[in-house]
Amino acid sequence: MRVLIIEDDVDTASYISKGLTEEGHSVDHFADGRDGLLQATAEDYDVIIVDRMLPGVDGLNLVRTLRGVGKQIPVLFLTSLGGVDDRVNGLEAGGDDYVTKPFAFSELLARLHALARRPPLKGEETVLRVADLEMDLVRRTVRRAGQTIDLQPREFRLLEFLMRNQGRIVTRTMLLERVWDFHFDPKTSVVETHISRLRAKIDRPFAKDLIHTTRGAGYSIHNGG
Amino acid sequence: MVADVFSRTAVRLALGFAVLIAATVIAVFAIIYWQLSSELEQRVRLRVLENLDALSAIDSHEGFSELAEVVSAEANSPRAIENIFLLVDKDGQFIAGNVEGIPEFQGWRALKVTDYKRLIGPKEDRDRYFAFWRRLSKGMLLVGGNDRDMRHVSDTLLGGLIWGLAATALLSIAIGGTLAYRAQNQIDAISTTLAAVAEGKLDRRVPPLKGNADLNQIGSQINATLDQLQRSIERSNQISTDIAHDLKRPLGRLQQRLDTAMRSAGTEAQLQAAIEASLGEIGVIVETFDALLRIAEIEAGARRLRFTMVDLQQVLIDVAEVYQAVADDAGDTLISQLAVTEGAMVFGDRELLVQLFANLIENAIRHCPKGTRIVLALHEERTSVVAEVRDTGPGIPLEERDKVFHRLYRLDKSRSTPGSGLGLSLVAAIAELHNARIQLDDDSPGLRVSLRFQCGSGLTKL
């Protein structure tokens, strides 16, 4: 994917830039808010990473302006402001996601992948599929190899989120936020517990596992190895 | 210094009262004077009229010349000091009397020494005479009575007034001065104390003050505030120390790990493991900071701006749903006892309320032995909803129940489990933000944490 980084902290910028380049993505970097904004409107990117505090134009205004001129490029905010209000303000300004410094690169990467998901699901797709696993979003049913699988509402949401991001890693934090609406770090194995319950229903009775764990990064659902 | 004295409240009050009292005294004297003098004037007029009547009777019964005799005798008698008499004929010519030179007038008139000429008696006379002309058969008769009694009364009253005013002034100044002096002493005591506190002597307190109850109350209020201030300063010092301590340990471990990794040229896998472990340590440090910042943010109270009506029952149902499985896996049981039928609406922040209950349940799961029964309960009272998290674990000793809400405080027995010691501080901060009363009780056995929320929009008044 093509990523634009607007970040005045050189260390952070090169940390992200290096990581993304190694992953095979193309990266442009601007340190000044005004330059970054011009670049964002001039060229097409898959995702933009914006620091909240920037010289020139600050992050919030940058994204507001971007949205104001009709640019719908996904935006991920980056900030050292850890406050709860900061997340809400960022999202209200038109940001799509939010990562607080310091962060693990795997977390940022997973979120970028989730944001840059292109092209969007064709039309109003109502059935999600991974191998022989099928999720009907209208009837709220899940079947694997023709067998109906009974899921709790929250398990359904968990599986839906994994399936919508199939082939991509989703992190523990992303799951906590999107599935459980938890905006804090639980001290118990909430995610692990529920993933393992889900696995017991989705994978265990069948020959091939679809839900995979990537150590230190997160989970993904796919038909591969 | 003088200007200083007059700017003092007590002095100004004392002076104000002195003026007020003086005005009152003067008013009272004025009223008495007015009433007495009109009464006395009335008496003088009566006396004059009586004299006139008696003399007229002589005229009508015994004749005008007899009257002239009597008037002449009266004018020479000692009574003539108090009265003036003047008998004139039809042409206004003097016949008898002790004064002359008074033209005819109608009704009453008060005559001064310049209005007549004294024939008999003192030439100098400060008295005024209330006089009245009466027409007789062959002339006119004037009788006047003096106002000496009235003058005596007013002199007496004036003397009394002056002494009274002087006494009032002295008394006011004495009382005001004493009050000002005392108040000044008390205010000095307060300001000395505050100055000492400002210099860093946090243990200084305003001494108990005699006399002025108001200032005394302010003094004890200041002392209470200073107690609070001292406590929170000590606490924040303690927190800084604790943070330093808490961070020193993982930082120390981090340093050792990196140092070891650097010096022992291990395999790539070993290096990888060392780095991963180091990142884990850093994660702990970041987490502690995050929690501290979050508590600070919550305590700042700005989140109240985002408050909405939240169904507490639904929050508990959601949290219970998440943690049922977690508790099961940990070998515990989580039971919901939600005794509210129509939902329990409170004014608050859903995200934080979820975190609050998640925190309490996680504490129970992490700090209690396997097989613990955790109950999440909700019931309504008259104006409040009470949410409880109970467990059958070891509980918290009575003497430590207050301390567990302090930042970074950890019970000795929980030192072995990982954790920042910030969980309950966060719970307390969230509860406080929601104006909810938090209480720890012995559930024999186990711990009962209860949170009492105000029902409905009772919180909007915040």
| Cβ pair B118, B100 in contact under 8 A | no
| For residue B122, cis peptide bond before it (omega within 30 degrees of 0) | no
Ramachandran quadrant class, B37 (left: phi over 0; alpha: psi -120 to 50; beta: rest): alpha
A90 is written with which tokens?
């960022």
- pLDDT reading at B18 higher than 80: no
- pLDDT reading at B400 higher than 60: yes
A194 close to B (CB below 8 A): yes
What does pLDDT average to over chain A?
89
CA pair distance B329, A22, nearest whole angstrom: 39
Tens digits of residue pLDDT in B191-216 = 888 899 888 888 888 888 666 677 78
Tens digits of residue pLDDT in B413-444 = 555 555 666 788 889 889 988 989 999 888 88
A33 is written with which tokens?
């808010």
CA pair distance A116, A128, nearest whole angstrom: 19
- pLDDT reading at B183 higher than 80: no
Q: How many CB atoms lie within 10 A of CB B415?
A: 10
Q: What percent of chain A has pLDDT over 70?
A: 94
A225: pLDDT confidence band, cut at 50, 70 and 90? low
A108 is written with which tokens?
């940022």
Asked if B321 and A152 come within 8 Å (Cβ–Cβ), the reply is: yes
Q: Is B97 helix (H, G, I), strand (E, B) or coil?
A: strand
Q: Which residues of chain B neighbour A157 with C-beta distances below 8 Å?
A: none
- pLDDT reading at B378 higher than 90: yes
Q: How many CB atoms lie within 10 A of CB B271?
A: 14
| Cβ pair A149, A143 in contact under 8 A | yes
B155 is written with which tokens?
């002199």
Tens digits of residue pLDDT in B292-335 = 888 888 887 777 888 899 999 999 999 999 999 999 999 999 99
Tens digits of residue pLDDT in A68-121 = 998 889 999 988 766 667 788 888 889 999 888 888 898 999 999 888 865 555
Tens digits of residue pLDDT in B121-170 = 777 777 888 999 988 888 888 888 888 877 888 788 888 888 888 887 78
Burial of B137 (0-12, 13-18, 19+ CB in 10 A): exposed
pLDDT at B461: 39
pLDDT at B458: 47
B456: pLDDT confidence band, cut at 50, 70 and 90? low
Beta strands (DSSP E) in chain A are: 2-6, 26-30, 47-51, 75-79, 97-100, 127-130, 133-136, 141-144, 147-149, 211-214, 218-221
pLDDT at B460: 42
Which residues does residue B116 pair with via DSSP β-bridges, in sequence order? none
Task: Look up the pTM and report it.
Answer: 0.64
Which CA distances in Å does B236 have to A202, A208, B139, B245, B249? 51, 56, 110, 14, 20
Lowest mean pLDDT among A70-84, A147-161, B346-360: A70-84
Q: Which residues of chain B neighbour A197 with C-beta distances below 8 Å?
A: 325
A105 close to B (CB below 8 A): no
Q: Which of B287, B294, B322 sits opposite A84 (nearest CB)?
A: B294
CA pair distance B11, B411, nearest whole angstrom: 58
Q: Which of B276, B282, B362 sits opposite A187 (nearest CB)?
A: B362
The residue type at B183: A
Pseudo-torsion of CA B41, B43, B44, B50, nearest 10°? 150
Q: What percent of chain A has pLDDT over 90?
A: 61
Using only C-alpha atoms, chain B has a radius of gyration, in whole angstroms, of: 49
B293 close to A (CB below 8 A): yes
Q: How many helices (H) and strands (E) does chain B have?
A: 9, 14
pLDDT at A174: 93
Tens digits of residue pLDDT in B61-89 = 888 888 888 888 888 887 677 888 888 88
Mean predicted confidence (pLDDT) in B49-68:
87
Pseudo-torsion of CA B191, B197, B201, B207, nearest 10°? 40
pLDDT at B304: 82
| Cβ pair B290, B284 in contact under 8 A | no
CA pair distance A221, A123, nearest whole angstrom: 22
Tens digits of residue pLDDT in A15-62 = 999 999 999 999 999 999 999 999 999 998 999 999 988 888 889 999
Segment 253-292 of chain B within 8 Å of chain A by CB: 276, 279, 282, 286-287, 289-290
Q: Which residues of chain B neighbour A85 with C-beta distances below 8 Å?
A: 297, 302-303, 306
Provide CB contacts within 8 A for B449, sequence distance 6+: B360, B388, B389, B390, B427, B438, B439, B440
pLDDT at B459: 43
Query: What DSSP assignment string belongs to A29-66?
Result: EESSHHHHHHHHHHS--SEEEEESS-SSS-HHHHHHHH
Q: How many CB atoms lie within 10 A of CB B247?
A: 14
Mean predicted confidence (pLDDT) in B232-255:
80
| Cβ pair B145, B44 in contact under 8 A | yes
pLDDT at A2: 92
CA pair distance B236, A65, nearest whole angstrom: 42
CA pair distance A84, A89, nearest whole angstrom: 9
Q: Which residues of chain A neighbour B365 with C-beta distances below 8 Å?
A: 188
Asked if B303 and A184 come within 8 Å (Cβ–Cβ), the reply is: no
Q: How many CB atoms lie within 10 A of CB A82?
A: 18
Which CA distances in Å does B108 have to B92, B243, B383? 19, 101, 83
Mean predicted confidence (pLDDT) in B4-10:
62
**What chain A residue is nearest to B323 in terms of C-alpha separation?**
A190
Taking the alpha carbons at both ends of chain A, their separation in whole angstroms is: 24
Asked if B355 and A180 come within 8 Å (Cβ–Cβ), the reply is: no
B1: pLDDT confidence band, cut at 50, 70 and 90? very low
pLDDT at A120: 54
pLDDT at B244: 80
What does pLDDT average to over chain B?
83
pLDDT at B227: 87
- pLDDT reading at B176 higher than 80: no
Provide CB contacts within 8 A for B371, sequence distance 6+: B331, B332
